[in-house]
Amino acid sequence: MQLATTSLRPRNTLNVVLCAAVPAAMLCLLALASQLSLWWSPLIGIVFSLLMLTNYALMHESAHGYLHSNPLENALLGSFAALHFPMSGRFFSLTHQVHHRCNRTDHEMFDYYYPGDNMFIKYCQWYGILSGLHYLIVPLGSVIAALIPGVYRLKVFTRSRSSGVLFDDLTGKEIWYIRAEVVFGVLYWTLAWQLLGLQWQAVLILYAMAGFHWSTRQYLTHAFTPRDVRNGAIILQSGRVMRAVLLNGNFDLVHHQRPEIPWTYLPRYVPHDAQPVGFWPQYRAMWKGPRPNIETAPVPESA
């Protein structure tokens, strides 16, 4: 998505500094945890999980084309941030654009169900998101797209309500881009593993905590919101620290209404009558499970 106005340009220098500092800090924490007793890993993992949220926010900016005003640098910075998720930045960008086109449509209706839905699958999807299992699928999805992209054309995916349109943009050119990112990612992490002396147990604990934290937040600002592509989100009540960690990602309603606005400008566009929703009330409501749908599904937006 291109910027709608030239007056709202990305903060290039700030974003470049963040793209260098956040992954560097993540690597330092991985190295530290690998040198200490495993008893320290959960404590270090708390900080690591917060950095993961910031790193994801940088990936998100790149997916919208405003991590940097230069398109090439925007793509490269996004790919570099995605290395530390880890996943393909291009694969994330493609699927995230689908999210914006299909927000709150039947393709992304995880919090509601129809009378004829398979409730076992519905509950597996819902609690898979809340329990952190969703995180395991995302990096694996990049590898599948790189090695055997034809899998996404199987009936199990094309006939699924949630994934039926998710991989429509996975063309030949994009597949080769994803492959290049995956290959580079393997080389990058092989080198980092050797140079930093990483231990798999510590790495597993830190990424498990980060994956759980990330996954539980992915549907938080959409759950039980109006079934509207642009207005189906909330503004999450957040303090200054979490706003900084999320790069203003708590203003998700504003972002969906005005997806052309860089993260540094989002607070300016919060409606005066906005009613932020508290994190814990929303989080507790989600654990009660999906609800029966009573609204008409919106039509997905065109690309």
Q: What is the mean pLDDT of residues 147-159?
A: 70
pLDDT in tens, 18-62: 999 999 999 999 999 999 999 999 999 999 999 999 999 999 999
How many C-beta neighbours within 10 Å does residue 302 have? 5
Q: What is the pTM of this model?
A: 0.93
Given pLDDT bands bounded at 50, 70 and 90, which one contains residue 301? confident
**Cα separation of 83 and 190, whole Å?**
12
Does 260 have pLDDT greater than 80?
yes
117: left (phi over 0), alpha (psi -120 to 50) or beta: beta
pLDDT score, position 150: 78
Q: What is the mean pLDDT of residues 142-164?
A: 72
Does 265 have pLDDT greater than 60?
yes
The CA radius of gyration of the chain, in Å to the nearest whole number, is 19
Q: What is the mean pLDDT of residues 210-227?
A: 94
pLDDT in tens, 116-132: 999 999 999 999 999 99
Does 225 have pLDDT greater than 70?
yes
Does 4 have pLDDT greater than 50?
no
Does 69 have pLDDT greater than 90?
yes
Given pLDDT bands bounded at 50, 70 and 90, which one contains residue 187? very high
**Cα separation of 285 and 215, whole Å?**
16
Structure tokens at 282: 């929303």
